[in-house]
Amino acid sequence: MKIVVKKFGGTSVGDIDRIKRVAKRVKRTWSEGNAVVVVVSARAGVTNSLIERAFAIQKNPTDRELDVLMTCGEQETIALTCMALDAIGVPAVSRTGWQAGILTEGLHSKSRIREVSGGDIRKQLRAGKVVVVAGFQGINEVGDLTTFGRGGSDLSAIALAGALRAKSCQIFTDVEGVFTADPRIVPDARKIDAINYEEMLELASSGSKVMQTRAVEFAQKHNIPFEVRSTFSTKSGTAVKKKVKSLEDTLVSGVAIDKNQVRVSINELPDRPGAAAAVFKVMASAGVVVDMIVQNVARNGKANLTFTVPSEDAFRAEKALREHLKEGAGGKLGKSTNIAKISVVGVGMRSHSGVASKFFEALANAGINMLMISTSEIKISVAVNPDKGDDATRVAHQAFGLGK
């Protein structure tokens, strides 16, 4: 049995006409003799609408009840998609995340996959049915519904493809693949035909909205190749896999921008061993992912510590820090500010020098000030003022000759 997993995001299933288009696309693959598993997101805008309703009722709803509420969006989509398939002669059955055997652990709204059994998916496929699974969700050890965070349907699709040993896994979105930059910001951005897990992971973690970071991480860990392609085109997309030929010849593969970052500062932090460790232990306990970190040189036994967190974690981070500082840890919580993070990514950085100097010089020539800098083996990131983010992306893209 040749299993094909197809994941369709919120834009792809945004309205009835688009759901019907998805059904026709699925039928073509099913008619070729493949066993098809479809993973879907909530329709575009539905999750945000549900969250707005929650906060209209309660200022700080619990993460557990938010998870119960947010899983409703995907459940609507699986039912509508099955109806659309049935209407064109394709037998289909819907399954929620827990019915698909996706078992989770960890925090609500950011749960992690513990195990994927597949439930009765194989049985349904052998009966000739298309199985439509609700992405973004699973069930934990105590029977609570949990979610995987924004873009979590990507993770559901990758995990199911691995568990079912699928022949292929296709991630359908509103763009034709992975580009050298966001084509809405950089008009001459090019589509990348193939990219390895490592670079894809760095691009995803740096703000590229094509794939959820955790989904790429899962694919890399379990070596599950996949393709990113457009729902609205028949053109081939971008293959993401373990090895790509002649990759080291490419100095920089892409530029990513992340506008959903907040800079958090703690001033007058005692300059003693363990002070910074205590801060980040608090962040870890609160489930906050910390990205860029800068600690200024201490004066009079005091130092300033600055770091960035995702916008959606800013409230949680500030709340946890206030409680920590009240307990006498020392230091004062500064005013948090929005920033844009620009990253250049490429495995060629391992064997080539001068990438940082070219990047920084290009920004300087454009009059763009860098607020923070961080590096990894194949990535260089800078934080800039939000109103300079798009300009910085275009400048970096041009500096490394990534245009068409």
Residues 6+ apart with CB under 8 A from 11: 18, 44, 173, 174, 231
- For residue 247, the model assigns a pLDDT of 52
In angstroms, what CA-CA distances link 44 with 14, 86, 173, 237?
5, 23, 12, 22
**Which residue, among 357, 359, 365, has the nearest Cα to 343 in the 3D structure?**
359
Give the whole-angstrom CA distance, residue 362 versus residue 340. 17
Q: How far apart are CA 125 and CA 71, in angstroms?
A: 24
For the cut 80, the answer to whether the pLDDT of residue 246 exceeds it is: no
d(CA 248, CA 229): 24
Q: What pLDDT, on the 0 to 100 scale, is given for residue 192?
A: 92
Q: Are 132 and 94 in contact (CB under 8 A)?
A: yes
Q: 105 in helix, strand or coil? A: strand
Q: What is the pLDDT of residue 312?
A: 86
Sorted by where each begins, the domain ranges of the chain are 3-174
User: Average pLDDT in the 280-300 region?
Assistant: 89
Q: Residue 209 has what pLDDT? A: 75
Please determine, for residue 89, whether its predicted confidence score (pLDDT) is greater than 80. Answer: yes
Selection from 79-88, 104-113, 352-361, 374-383 with the highest mean pLDDT: 79-88
Find how far residue 66's CA is from the centre of its chain.
Answer: 19
Q: Model confidence over 54-78: pLDDT tens digits?
A: 999 998 899 999 999 999 999 999 9
| Average pLDDT over every residue of 104-118 | 92
Question: Whole-number mean pLDDT of the chain?
Answer: 93
User: For position 233, what pLDDT does the model report?
Assistant: 87
- Give me the pLDDT at residue 206, please: 81
Is residue 207's pLDDT more than 80?
A: no
Q: What is the mean pLDDT of residues 189-194?
A: 92
Give burial (CB, 10 Å; 0-12/13-18/19+) of 351: exposed
Residue-level pLDDT at 271: 87
Q: What is the rounded CA–CA span in Å between residue 346 and residue 181?
A: 13
pLDDT at 248: 53
pLDDT digits (tens, 9 = 90+) for 296-318: 876 788 889 999 999 989 999 99
- Phi/psi for 291 (5° steps) reads -110, -95
38 - beta bridge partners? 6, 132
Give the fold, CATH level 3, of 3-174. Answer: Carbamate kinase (3.40.1160)
